[in-house]
């Protein structure tokens, strides 16, 4: 088969960005995508944070891109047995361009974005699985496709093949994922009239909302979410796999019970279920970012473990696009120097470290540990509910001071040493 300058495996946001950036510079790029159409393997149902780097590739990117709603309202809800305590953040600044975040459908967005790469000259091969890489003199020189029968060669390959990245694993670049560093997301899409969504979430026009839930996973480390699209809601749960395994509960059963929780049930009243999906996501944080390059090879997006949450932000797509962009810059640089060695491509990691991608992952590296504290998902949500209910309750008896109520409730919920340890660790990891 004919040769290319660069091969991109996977046409998600990392792959499309890398392909577009390289094609813009005149490189001959092949993108292989295992789905029959671009985006058809993706079950994303969240928010993509504003990502300036793509504006450099497509002027007016966010004006053109097929997104659903721009998110102006973010809610964090802590569920206890009978109560819900929410922090609602709404900003008029997020209602002005450039918008801070968007909800979107990946089968639509990814297809649009990959089309940009094709328009710039990249070749897209959908329905094509990259089965292996071709290794020559300790350097990756291409991929195997078509059940081992075909080979495509290029001096550089960029793996954007998602969280499981079987190819990176086979090469030994990333370690086999352990259950404690991976979460499972299960999600369903519900159809609801646009006006109905606007009314229930307090939105106007194409304003969007996100709502995250803590304390809805029956003590399993994880949380729930609801995101608004134009005429649909994405509703789901994300749970750590080791914690799920220990619980011996089925994710769809947990999900079903989440849907019956009062605050969720109200949002979904008369909404029609239209699709169900599930996928794992990287949850290891900075600590588990794999080796990002090798001779002739770069990793971007989820394949590079670039995804994190700190409790408030859930970032992945913007990290994918930015890493795809930086991988392309590294590849372009390598072409100018005619050098695709491991040493030359190691410059990619340096670029990521200078950018917000690895800086943010590092900043919130310790938050990953906090997210592995079981008490955050069991004891604390109930404690919040208990305190708030006591503060608001009127029962004819004299009220106690607020600090006293909180302190007594906390002392009744968990040992002092845990309370102190969690306060120190929790504070330290986020500040």
Partner 1 sequence: MITDDIFELVSYDIDEESHIRVDTEVCGQCAHRACTFACPARCYQWNEARGKIDFAYEGCLECGTCLIICEKGALDWKYPRGGFGVRFRLT
Q: Site residues (CB under 8 A) for partner 1?
A: 32, 34-36, 39-45, 105-108, 126-129, 131, 145, 147, 163-164, 166, 177-179, 182, 184, 186-189, 232, 234, 241, 244-245, 248-253, 256, 259, 273-280
Sign of CA dihedral 148, 149, 154, 160: negative
Least gap, CB of 187 to partner 1 (angstroms): 7
The CA angle 162-147-323, to the nearest 5 degrees, is: 20
Question: What six digits make up the tokens of 307?
Answer: 């995804």
Q: CA 367 to CA 249: how far, in whole Å?
A: 26
Judged by beta carbon, residue 37 or residue 75, the one nearer partner 1 is 37
Judged by beta carbon, residue 53 or residue 238, the one nearer partner 1 is 238
DSSP for residue 250: -
The CA angle 128-133-134, to the nearest 5 degrees, is: 120
Query: 235 and 260 in contact (C-beta within 8 Å)?
Result: no
CA 169 to chain centre: 20
Query: 67 and 43 in contact (C-beta within 8 Å)?
Result: no
Least gap, CB of 199 to partner 1 (angstroms): 22
Least gap, CB of 345 to partner 1 (angstroms): 26
Judged by beta carbon, residue 119 or residue 253, the one nearer partner 1 is 253
Least gap, CB of 350 to partner 1 (angstroms): 30
Query: 20 and 46 in contact (C-beta within 8 Å)?
Result: no
Tell me the helices (H) and strands (E) count for the chain, helix number first.
17, 20
Least gap, CB of 369 to partner 1 (angstroms): 20
Query: 298 and 331 in contact (C-beta within 8 Å)?
Result: yes
Judged by beta carbon, residue 261 or residue 362, the one nearer partner 1 is 261
Query: 71 and 101 in contact (C-beta within 8 Å)?
Result: yes
Query: 263 and 77 in contact (C-beta within 8 Å)?
Result: yes
Least gap, CB of 244 to partner 1 (angstroms): 6
Among left, alpha and beta (phi > 0; psi -120 to 50; other), residue 164 is: alpha
Judged by beta carbon, residue 105 or residue 340, the one nearer partner 1 is 105
Least gap, CB of 170 to partner 1 (angstroms): 11
Judged by beta carbon, residue 165 or residue 211, the one nearer partner 1 is 165
Q: Which helix (H) or strand (E) holds 295?
A: none
Least gap, CB of 49 to partner 1 (angstroms): 20
Judged by beta carbon, residue 180 or residue 425, the one nearer partner 1 is 180
Judged by beta carbon, residue 154 or residue 189, the one nearer partner 1 is 189
């Amino acid at each position: 088969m004919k040769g290319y300058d660069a091969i991109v495996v996977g046409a998600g946001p990392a792959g499309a960005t890398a392909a577009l950036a390289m094609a813009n510079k005149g490189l001959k790029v092949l993108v292989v995508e295992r789905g029959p159409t671009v985006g058809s393997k993706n079950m994303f149902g969240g928010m993509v944070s504003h990502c300036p780097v793509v504006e450099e590739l497509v002027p007016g990117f966010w004006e053109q891109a097929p997104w659903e709603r721009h998110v102006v309202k973010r809610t964090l809800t802590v569920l206890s047995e009978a109560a819900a305590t929410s922090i609602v953040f709404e900003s008029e600044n997020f209602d002005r361009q450039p918008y801070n975040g968007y909800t979107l459908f990946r089968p639509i967005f990814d297809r649009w974005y990959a089309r940009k790469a094709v328009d710039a000259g990249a070749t897209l091969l959908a329905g094509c699985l990259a089965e292996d890489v071709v290794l020559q003199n300790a350097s990756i020189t291409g991929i195997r496709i078509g059940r081992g029968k075909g080979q495509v060669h290029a001096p550089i390959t960029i793996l954007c093949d998602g969280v499981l990245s079987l190819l990176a694993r086979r090469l030994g670049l990333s370690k086999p994922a352990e259950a404690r560093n991976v979460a499972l997301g299960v999600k369903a899409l519900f159809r609801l009239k646009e006006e109905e969504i606007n009314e229930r979430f307090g939105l106007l026009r194409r304003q969007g909302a996100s709502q995250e839930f803590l304390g809805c996973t029956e003590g399993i480390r994880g949380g729930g979410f609801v995101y608004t699209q134009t005429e649909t809601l994405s509703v789901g749960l994300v749970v750590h796999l080791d914690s799920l395994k220990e619980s011996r509960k089925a994710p769809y059963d947990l999900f079903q019970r989440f849907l019956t929780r009062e605050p969720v049930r109200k949002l979904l009243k008369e909404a029609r279920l239209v699709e169900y999906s599930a996928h794992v996501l990287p949850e290891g944080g900075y600590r588990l970012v794999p080796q990002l390059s090798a001779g002739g090879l770069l990793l971007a997006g989820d394949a590079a473990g670039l995804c994190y949450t700190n409790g408030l932000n859930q970032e992945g797509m913007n990290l994918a696009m930015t890493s795809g962009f930086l991988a392309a810059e590294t590849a372009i640089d390598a072409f100018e120097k005619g050098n695709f060695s491991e040493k030359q491509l190691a410059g990619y990691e340096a670029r990521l470290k200078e950018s917000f991608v690895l800086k943010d992952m590092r900043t919130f590296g310790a938050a990953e540990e906090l997210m592995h504290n079981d008490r955050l998902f069991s004891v604390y949500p109930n404690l919040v509910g208990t305190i708030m209910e006591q503060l608001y309750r009127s029962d004819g008896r004299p009220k106690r001071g607020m600090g006293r109520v909180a302190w007594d409730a906390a002392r009744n919920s968990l040992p002092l040493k845990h309370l102190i340890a969690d306060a120190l660790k929790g504070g330290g990891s986020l500040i």
